[in-house]
Amino acid sequence: MKNVLVVNYSQTGQLSEITAQVIAPLRAAGHHVHLETLVPEKPFPWPWPIVDFVDAFPECVQLDAPPLKPLTIAAETPFDLVILTYQVWYLAPALPMTAFLKSPAGRQLIKDKPVVTLVACRNMWLSAQDTMKHLIAEAGGKLRDHIVFTDQGHALATFITTPRWVLTGRRDRFLGLPPAGVAPGEIRAASRFGHALNDALDTDAERNPAPMLSGLRAAVVNPRLAISERTAQRAFRIWSKLIRLFGQRGQWRRRPILLVFALYLITMVLTVVPLSLLVQWLFSPLLKPHLERLRAELELPSGSQGFNLQKYEQ
Ligand SMILES: Cc1cc2nc3c(=O)[nH]c(=O)nc-3n(C[C@H](O)[C@H](O)[C@H](O)COP(=O)(O)O)c2cc1C
């Protein structure tokens, strides 16, 4: 039987529900799973008051996370596998996960360990996962698989439904758009990853470099969104540095520049994002080979193929 560490943090419980689906088969098979829920010293609000929401932006992008309460396990506890579950906040890992990966205890726990990452977010996770890769490598962990869950509905619809959920707490159907968050069927189907991990752990496959979760449609990339995301991330880096020149998180003196940033963000979402999607759609025959290459590269290591779905979907 193997020892598995699962690191988790969730404001609405959505990510915890997905995590529970993955863990259940592991526990049923007799593996010892330690679920470590991250607790920030000062809790983040839910729903988010608009000022707090915008004010969190620069620190998310600059990976400057406020401290967590001490973990419930010793940093030297040995694990065979680590599963890191996280949300995306402003194209970066959510601050509690950043805090974990930058803390001495977090780094020690994943050093030399095979790591699986699992993200649940609106749909822009590529930059955040890139950051996760760097932080995991810096800590000496070995990223083996990546699992993605995104909010239901068209990318443009989630630009309305997800912020509404985050800012008001309401996730029901709105203006004919689907409810916010990951579809319940997708959450239930997350157990396939637990079943596949059981097979991997039984054969010590976690010790090999090959991914353990191929063929399970673990990560599906829309390469058109990748292009918008890269552009946005470049802008976010500049804005976050600029805002931090005006003061720290919570200080009044950075509020005027935060207002300018908020207006910029809304304008971008309403104009540049749909325009960039339209241009890419118009030029799609020309862009297709490039986008296909990009998709294959970004879906690594676990990929979007489904050849193992029948075996593990129960
Ligand atoms: C401050 C903040 C910023 C967010 N930024 C993004 C983002 O850049 N991309 C994205 O896909 N989702 C983003 N989201 C949505 C979250 O990733 C996540 O789906 C939502 O907060 C629910 O997670 P939870 O209930 O498990 O904590 C953001 C949420 C918050 C609170």
Query: Could you report the per-residue pLDDT of 104-122, keeping only the tens digit for each?
Result: 999 999 999 999 999 999 9
In 3-state terms the chain splits into helix, strand, coil percentages (rounded to 5) of 50, 15, 35
Could you tell me whether strands 88-89 and 32-37 are parallel, antiparallel, or unpaired per DSSP bridges?
Answer: unpaired
Rounded to the nearest angstrom, the distance between the alpha carbon of 89 and the centre of ligand 1 is: 5
> Could you tell me if 280 and 227 are in contact, meaning their C-beta atoms sit under 8 angstroms apart?
yes
**CA pseudo-torsion sign 131, 94, 91, 185:** positive
How far from 113 is each of 83, 96, 203, CA to CA, in Å? 10, 20, 17
Is pLDDT at 314 greater than 80 in this prediction?
no
| Cis, peptide link before residue 43, omega less than 30° from 0 | no
> What gap in Å lies between CA 102 and CA 62, rounded to an integer?
12
Is pLDDT at 273 greater than 80 in this prediction?
no
Which atom of ligand 1 has the smallest separation from the CA of 57? 1
Rounded to the nearest angstrom, the distance between the alpha carbon of 182 and the centre of ligand 1 is: 12
> What gap in Å lies between CA 5 and CA 111, rounded to an integer?
13
Rounded to the nearest angstrom, the distance between the alpha carbon of 121 and the centre of ligand 1 is: 5
The pLDDT, as a whole number, for residue 303 is 94
Around ligand 1, the residues with Cβ closer than 6 Å are 10-12, 14-15, 48, 53, 56, 87-91, 120-125, 162, 166
Strand-pair partners of 19: none
For 160, counting Cβ atoms within 10 Å of its Cβ (0-12 exposed, 13-18 middle, 19+ buried), the class is middle
Lowest mean pLDDT among 160-174, 196-210, 263-277: 263-277
The pLDDT, as a whole number, for residue 24 is 97
> Could you tell me if 116 and 82 are in contact, meaning their C-beta atoms sit under 8 angstroms apart?
yes
Lowest mean pLDDT among 5-14, 219-228, 259-268: 219-228
Mean pLDDT of 177-203: 96
Percent with pLDDT over 70 in the chain:
100
Pocket test for ligand 1, best of 121, 231, 249 (most atoms within 8 A of CB): 121
Using DSSP, state whether 47 is helix, strand or coil. Answer: coil
> Could you tell me if 216 and 193 are in contact, meaning their C-beta atoms sit under 8 angstroms apart?
yes
Average pLDDT, the chain: 94
Rounded to the nearest angstrom, the distance between the alpha carbon of 60 and the centre of ligand 1 is: 11
| Closest Cα to atom 28 of ligand 1 | 89
CA-based R_g, the chain, Å? 19
The pLDDT, as a whole number, for residue 73 is 96
